[in-house]
A = this chain, B = another copy of it.
Amino acid sequence: MNFRSDNVSGIAPEVLAAIAAANSADAPSYGADPVTVRLTRRFTEIFEREVAVFPLATGTAANALALAAVTPPWGAVYCHEDSHVQTDECGAPEFYAGGAKLIAVPGADAKLSPAAVEARMTEQGVVHHVQPAAISISQVTEAGTLYTPAEVAALGALARRRGLALHMDGARFANAVAALGCAPAEITWRAGVDVLSFGATKNGALAAEAVIFFDPAKAADFAYRRKRGGHLFSKMRFVSAQLEACLADDLWLKNARHANRVAARLANGLAQIAGARLRYPTQANEVFVELPENAIRALAQAGFGFYRWGGEASLCLRLVAAFDSRLDDAEALIAVACRHAGPA
């Protein structure tokens, strides 16, 4: 009944089993183990091209290190004003990128448009200004919405034209791929993405993410950055094993599809309620819904977990479904909300 975040969930059984399996014998440390080697091969299959893969353990580390790899200290990163890198990482990207500047760009549904980004881009080569270096988008976005492949490609084209890198924060990448029903390549490198923060923690891992470079040549220095940030794990195989378990038998997509389904049910159910309004379209595993105060209170009293989006006085709830959320809980939530608000 806890819809506060997909990070309140625990570890998927397949992932926990993989950790235990990786514990059967000694192994070389720092990534020279066989699990990590297999993992890179698996990602290569999934993305249909040679990739450089760097496992680590938090999404903030993945994003900050990835952005630092494509942005000089005097660089500008264009991101949505509500994006995780801008609002929820306590300045980690600026720290890792040596003081680079994030340019907060507005946009409906937490999405960037090429026009909005380009309008904020200063000319390259003027020494007084930070230099346009990267665009960062979230897929799924902070509003639970999705970029279509064409939308990503439009930003990729802008990035190419202006000589910038394109980064994708894929903390919920699985939910995006599952919802779009596309090949992972289609919304990444084929659309111009250079580097991806591939998330697994929110999707059933203990703590496992991967930074993936679609052009391994651009990853030359990344190993130093990761080590220097304290993100190189001595017992790396246990991070890699989590990712491998997620990718095996498409567990990542199965888990994501389930979460998306529960969110869709929530959205559809709540949308029927009098006075309810979906703030953003529910396209993946997050629902942003405005409800009457007495319905919100009833949900809290009934023991449902959620955030009031925008502060304790807000009437907008964020409900996040995870790999282990139950449809029954979703139904129960809808029922409580409905009872205290009445159908539309």
Q: A72-B221, A238-B207 are in contact. Are A127 and B232 (CB under 8 A)?
A: yes
Task: Determine whether the beta carbon of A8 is less than 8 Å from that of B23.
Answer: no
Counting chain B CB atoms within 10 Å of each CB, which of A5, A90, A100, A235 scores highest? A90
Q: Cα distance A154–B310 when bound, in Å?
A: 26
A50 to chain B: closest CB distance in Å? 20
Task: Determine whether the beta carbon of A100 is less than 8 Å from that of B104.
Answer: no
**Residues on the B chain within 8 Å of A22, using CB:** 10
Interface string of A267-303 (1 = CB under 8 A from B): 0000000000000000000000000000000000000
A229 lies within 8 A of chain B by Cβ: yes
**Residues on the B chain within 8 Å of A87, using CB:** 122, 128-129
A233 lies within 8 A of chain B by Cβ: yes
Task: Determine whether the beta carbon of A73 is less than 8 Å from that of B95.
Answer: yes
Which of B23, B57, B89 lies in contact with A10, CB distance below 8 A?
Answer: B23
A26 lies within 8 A of chain B by Cβ: yes
Task: Determine whether the beta carbon of A227 is less than 8 Å from that of B7.
Answer: no
Q: Which of A126-162 touch B at CB < 8 Å? A: 127-131
Say which size band chain A's interface belongs to: 35 or more
**Residues on the B chain within 8 Å of A16, using CB:** 19-20, 23
A11 lies within 8 A of chain B by Cβ: yes
**Residues on the B chain within 8 Å of A175, using CB:** none
**Residues on the B chain within 8 Å of A96, using CB:** 99, 230
Task: Determine whether the beta carbon of A60 is less than 8 Å from that of B232.
Answer: yes
**Residues on the B chain within 8 Å of A59, using CB:** 234
Interface string of A213-224 (1 = CB under 8 A from B): 000000001011
Task: Determine whether the beta carbon of A231 is less than 8 Å from that of B61.
Answer: yes
Task: Determine whether the beta carbon of A94 is less than 8 Å from that of B99.
Answer: yes
A-B residue pairs in contact (CB < 8 Å), sample of 27: A4-B29, A5-B29, A8-B26, A8-B29, A10-B24, A16-B20, A58-B230, A58-B231, A60-B227, A61-B230, A64-B230, A65-B230, A74-B221, A74-B224, A74-B227, A89-B128, A89-B228, A89-B230, A90-B127, A91-B100, A92-B228, A94-B100, A94-B101, A95-B98, A95-B228, A95-B229, A96-B99
